[in-house]
């Protein structure tokens, strides 16, 4: 009998439950038992688990968030916690571990794999910044939400002749801003990968204004910053167990600067966690399901230390090491497409 442990770590995102369901159901076909580990790595440190059955995962496919809970716990912060993880894996008879997460969760999975723990990774994040996979699930849902918000902001921006600044998530990579900005017809997209020049942004808005367009939409990733500013704007000094600060504030900064420079009334909308909430799109449900089934196949083959990934339209397996080696930043060809529309 094989027992599979499954956990979700880091920020939640729509589609996590679809993976959990797929792992349980595909595993059952091979006679595997599945144990859900609560609140990410925290559950393995303290030994908080629950059995998952066909019945308990029924109806969760369209549900946002994660039925297992999540946390940003880093067990590698302490030797004692790593020992607890090992002890609990033995105690619950876990033969294989499925870690569903982004850069931090997969980083822990990679380190555990090097310690000899049989682990398989599944990439998730609304930020779409995990390397070695073309897309992560959650991202499509996030850009659909942001695109709808931009559409809605367009009508009110036009009525009031305003500049609307939309702050979206994206700590190190501006995928959400770029893709939703293109889909929503943004007049300027600001991303962490390219520090921006406020004079240039103002020039683009002015050019548009001169053509008779008396409103503009500026989409900014939370990690975007002007040239000369060393770090992204943060909400507080607090950092999580992986050393990440809580970003936020670039929208307000831009609203004030653009109002000053451009002379037009500006407003800011911070979309925040709305981008991560609610039901997954059909695309994310399918991708998450394919990832979950592929993770079980890796376990069946005892092919550990790998992450399932989307390459073109195929699901493949890549070494976890490759997935965590670097972050996948925005494709500059894609960003160039977005910038063709600036000043229009």
Can residue 173 be called a binding residue for ligand F6P (CB under 6 A)? Answer: no
Nearest to 183 by CA among 152, 141, 143, 216: 143
Name the closest residue to ligand F6P (Cβ). 11
Q: Kindly state whether residue 170 participates in binding ligand F6P, applying the rule CB under 6 A.
A: yes
Q: Which residues 207-226 are close enough to bind ligand F6P by CB under 6 A?
A: 222
Interacting span for ligand F6P (CB under 6 A) from 53-61, 119-127, 313-321, 336-344: 119-127
Helix (H/G/I), strand (E/B), else coil: 5: strand
Longest dimension (CA), the chain: 71
Q: SS3 letters for 136-186?
A: CECHHHHHHHHHHHHHHHHHHHHHHCCEEEEEECCCCCCHHHHHHHHHHCC
What is the nearest approach in angstroms of ligand F6P to the Cβ of residue 223?
A: 8
Among 25, 42, 162, 171, the residue binding ligand F6P under the rule CB under 6 A is 171
Least Cβ distance, residue 39 to ligand F6P (angstroms): 13
> CB-side exposure of 283: number of CA atoms within 13 Å?
12
CB nearer ligand F6P, residue 247 or residue 288: 247
Active site residue 127: yes
Site for ligand F6P in 48-107 (CB under 6 A): 102
276 binds ligand F6P (CB under 6 A): yes
Residue 120 main-chain phi, psi, to 5 deg:
-125, 140
Beta carbons within 10 angstroms of residue 62's beta carbon: 14
Task: Say if residues 128 and 312 touch (Cβ distance below 8 Å).
Answer: no
* Of residues 4 and 179, the one with the C-beta less far from ligand F6P: 179
Which residues are known to be catalytic? 127
* Contact set with ligand F6P (CB under 6 A): 10-11, 102, 125-127, 169-171, 222, 246-247, 276
């Amino acid at each position: 009998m094989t027992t599979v442990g499954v956990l979700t770590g880091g920020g939640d995102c729509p589609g996590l439950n679809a993976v959990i369901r797929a792992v349980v159901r595909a595993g059952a076909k091979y006679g595997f038992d599945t144990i859900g580990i609560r609140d990410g790595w925290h559950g393995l440190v303290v030994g908080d688990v629950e059995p998952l059955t066909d019945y308990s995962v029924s109806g969760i496919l369209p549900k946002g968030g994660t039925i297992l809970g999540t946390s940003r716990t880093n067990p590698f912060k302490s030797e004692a916690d790593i020992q607890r993880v090992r002890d609990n894996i033995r105690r619950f008879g876990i033969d294989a571990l499925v870690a569903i997460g982004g850069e931090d969760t997969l980083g822990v999975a990679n380190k555990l794999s090097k310690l000899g723990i049989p682990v398989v990774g599944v990439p998730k994040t609304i930020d779409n910044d995990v390397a070695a996979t073309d897309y992560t699930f959650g991202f499509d849902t996030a850009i659909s939400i942001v695109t709808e918000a931009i559409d809605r902001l367009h009508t009110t921006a036009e009525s009031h002749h305003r500049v609307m600044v939309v702050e979206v998530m994206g700590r190190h990579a501006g995928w959400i801003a770029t893709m939703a900005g293109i889909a929503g017809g943004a007049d300027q997209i600001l991303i962490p990968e390219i520090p921006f020049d406020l004079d240039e942004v103002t020039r683009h808005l002015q050019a548009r204004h001169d053509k008779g367009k008396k409103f503009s939409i500026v989409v900014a990733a939370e990690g975007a910053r002007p040239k000369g500013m060393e770090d992204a704007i943060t909400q507080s000094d607090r950092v999580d167990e992986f050393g990440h600060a809580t970003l936020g504030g670039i929208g307000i900064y831009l609203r004030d600067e653009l109002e000053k420079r451009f002379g037009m009334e500006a407003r800011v909308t911070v979309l925040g966690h709305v981008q991560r909430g609610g039901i997954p799109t059909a695309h994310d449900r399918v991708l998450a399901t394919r990832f979950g089934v592929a993770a079980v196949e890796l376990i069946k083959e005892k092919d550990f230390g790998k992450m399932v990934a989307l390459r073109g339209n195929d699901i493949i397996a890549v070494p976890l090491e490759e997935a965590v080696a670097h972050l996948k930043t925005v494709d500059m060809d894609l960003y160039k497409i977005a910038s063709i529309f600036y000043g229009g």
